[in-house]
Amino acid sequence: MEKRPFIIDCDTGTDDAIAILAALYSPEVEVKAITSVNGNICERYVCRNNRNLTALLGKNVPVARGAVRPLLSGFVNEGHLDDTHGPTGFGTIQLPEAEQVFDPRVASELIYETAVEEKGALELLVIGPMTNIALALVQHGDLAGLIRHIWFMGGAAVGGNVTPTAEFNIWVDPEAAKIVIGSGIPMTMVGLDVTTKAIMTREDADALRACGTPAGQVAADLLAYMFTRNHSGGEDALMHDALAFAAAVCPDCLTCRDCFVDVETHGQCAYGHTFVDQRGRTGKPANVSVALEVDVSMFRKWLVDTICRSAGEK
Ligand code: BDR
Ligand code: CA
């Protein structure tokens, strides 16, 4: 089977790390690179987390640095925002510090060069703010025609987690999201109203630990951090980002509908809101396949099974 080439653009981030693990052990996919962006924590922590994780797993995947701030008026994370992802983005887990050097290219250039090399086959898993992708699109007029599909975690058909109407990834850099979503690239949006249903359990954590690999252990440790976080009033073990990857390789997990989507960049109350026209009221053509429902047990099984494929590499 020919593997589908992917770049993961992320703000790792506890749930980003679990999405990366799933992608690295998915038989359908070859991860060509991982690129880092300001978001859950500042970019200098994100890139270290990406590098330390791939090194721990013995995966020789290029890791590149990316945008340290949004395009215009969004949110610059100078350190970390709250305890959702812990002080350096990896919960309370301390990965060994890896020595690998970062790819010399900045994220937007790496994305463009890889898209050219892959001749239209490249897919992007975008699980942080969209700054790097917007920069690449602005710098390279032919890029949109070279990306097969974008699978992104961001926005919501209804609601938000930073404001009543804005989800974090979009709220951090709404202008970037507007550029990417309006680019004409085929894309699938996995938003907050669906990802908040994708909750992992202690049973899942036990199964991941039992697979006996570094990947299984890291995933189980991240879940254990999330359970503690939830116990102290924080977010549950929500798999926002892994669910966006599931859309790409386990599509039966999700029910999607084609909708017109845009991003509010000027609103006084609704800055960063994803405008999802589910009922075709605008008359504008659909530009995004939007996830509306998830089969949670199918997703949890897929995620555990996929990460446990690492046992086959021992
Ligand atoms: C998104 O924001 C981050 O906290 C998560 O990693 C996810 O990508 C959820 O709003
Ligand atoms: Ca993320």
Tens of pLDDT, residue by residue over 65-123, are 999 999 998 899 887 777 899 999 999 999 999 988 999 999 999 999 999 999 999 99
Q: Does the pLDDT value for residue 267 go beyond 90?
A: no
Give yes or no for residue 160 CB within 6 A of ligand 1: no
Q: Does the pLDDT value for residue 160 go beyond 70?
A: yes
The mean per-residue pLDDT over the stretch 40-50 comes to 97
Give pLDDT, residue 313: 82
The mean per-residue pLDDT over the stretch 234-247 comes to 97
Give pLDDT, residue 79: 76
The mean per-residue pLDDT over the stretch 170-185 comes to 98
Q: What is the mean pLDDT of the chain?
A: 96
Give yes or no for residue 40 CB within 6 A of ligand 1: yes
Active site residue 140: no
- Determine the distance separating the centroid of ligand 1 and the alpha carbon of 234, expressed in angstroms: 13
Whether the Cβ atoms of residue 280 and residue 261 lie closer than 8 Å to each other: no
Q: Which of the residues 80, 85, 140, 240 is marked catalytic?
A: 240
Give yes or no for residue 241 CB within 6 A of ligand 1: yes
Give yes or no for residue 271 CB within 6 A of ligand 1: no
Q: Which structure tokens are listed for 208?
A: 């991941």
- Determine the distance separating the centroid of ligand 1 and the alpha carbon of 271, expressed in angstroms: 17
Q: Which structure tokens are listed for 160?
A: 């938000």
The mean per-residue pLDDT over the stretch 294-298 comes to 98
Q: State how far the Cα of 226 lies from the Cα of 231, in Å rounded to an integer.
A: 8
Q: State how far the Cα of 89 lies from the Cα of 105, in Å rounded to an integer.
A: 23
The mean per-residue pLDDT over the stretch 48-60 comes to 97
Give yes or no for residue 90 CB within 6 A of ligand 1: no
Tell me the percentage of the chain whose pLDDT exceeds 70: 100
The mean per-residue pLDDT over the stretch 163-168 comes to 96
Higher pLDDT, 312 or 282: 282
pLDDT-based confidence at residue 314 (cuts at 50, 70, 90): low
- Find all residues with CB under 8 Å of 155, minimum gap 6, and list them: 167, 169, 170, 177, 189, 191, 192, 261, 263, 274, 276
- Determine the distance separating the centroid of ligand 1 and the alpha carbon of 196, expressed in angstroms: 10
Least confident stretch, 70-79, 126-135, 190-199, 211-220:
70-79
Q: Which residues surround ligand 2, an ion (CB under 5 A)?
A: 11, 13, 16, 127-128, 241
Record the pTM.
Answer: 0.98
